[in-house]
Amino acid sequence: MAERSTSRRVDQRRARTRNALVCAAQRLLAEGRTDVAVLEITELADVGVGSFYNHFTTKEDLFRTAVEEAMEWFGGLMDRLTAEIDDPAVAYAQSFRMTGRLHRRYPQLSRVLLKHGLDVVHSDRGLGPRARRDIQNAIEAGRFEVEDLDLALAMTVSAQLALGTLLHAQPDRDDARSSDLIVRGLLRHFGMTADEAARICSLELPDLDLVDALGVT
């Protein structure tokens, strides 16, 4: 029993150290500061230099992990928030609308995504594969009329990145209204009527104040 307890504490301490390093890397990525020494990263994370190499081989390894985990955090959150939605067109729209609102709520993670631009399209983690899945499901359900899935995905990701950039550049812009206007246009482009697109974009969203309670990290 004592050995299991000790092992658990060690695992928890290792997890905290790794998380601190990833968070420090995400902060540096958001600030556009990747040409830094390992010592600066560990000081920012408040861990020892030796601890860095217990988790990552190089700075590049850490920064790659930081980007992947930022993408996966957003993607996992959208999965949880849309899990009960049966209509794939609604799931697509709600994911877009909520992600647009999260640019302001989580500016550091948002900037990490924005700085990696269209890499999101090609990543096998995060928002890209989820958006592809929702578009594909909506096509199969007869909700979207899309000739080229890759182009539809590129349009979706490009629109989300442009929205995030605009929201950071214009702090007074209404993030909710802007998100809804963009996705309403995307729905129209994917073959929906104006009335149906407007209806979907008027549906109530989950309470984003409960995001932290979902346990998505």
Decide if domain 1-56 falls under CATH 2.30.30. no
Per-residue pLDDT, 140:
97
Over 80: is that where the pLDDT of 45 sits? Answer: yes
CA angle (119 as vertex; 38, 175 as ends), nearest 5: 100
Tokens of 155: 């349009």
Higher pLDDT, 140 or 63: 140
CA–CA gap between residue 194 and residue 42 (Å, rounded): 52
Residue-level pLDDT at 42? 93
Domain locations in the chain as residue ranges: 1-56, 67-214
pTM of the model: 0.78
Q: What is the pLDDT of residues 162-171, one digit of tens each?
A: 999 999 999 9
Q: DSSP label at 207?
A: -
Q: Which fold has domain 67-214?
A: Tetracycline Repressor; domain 2 (1.10.357)
Residue 217: pLDDT band with limits 50, 70, 90: very low
Instruction: Report the residue count for the chain.
Output: 217
- Whether residue 26 is predicted with pLDDT greater than 90 in this model: the reply is no
- Give the number of other CB atoms < 10 A from CB of residue 52: 22
- Of residues 131 and 2, which shows the higher confidence score? 131
pLDDT interval class at 215 (50, 70, 90): very low
DSSP code string of 101-115 = HHHHHSHHHHHHHHH
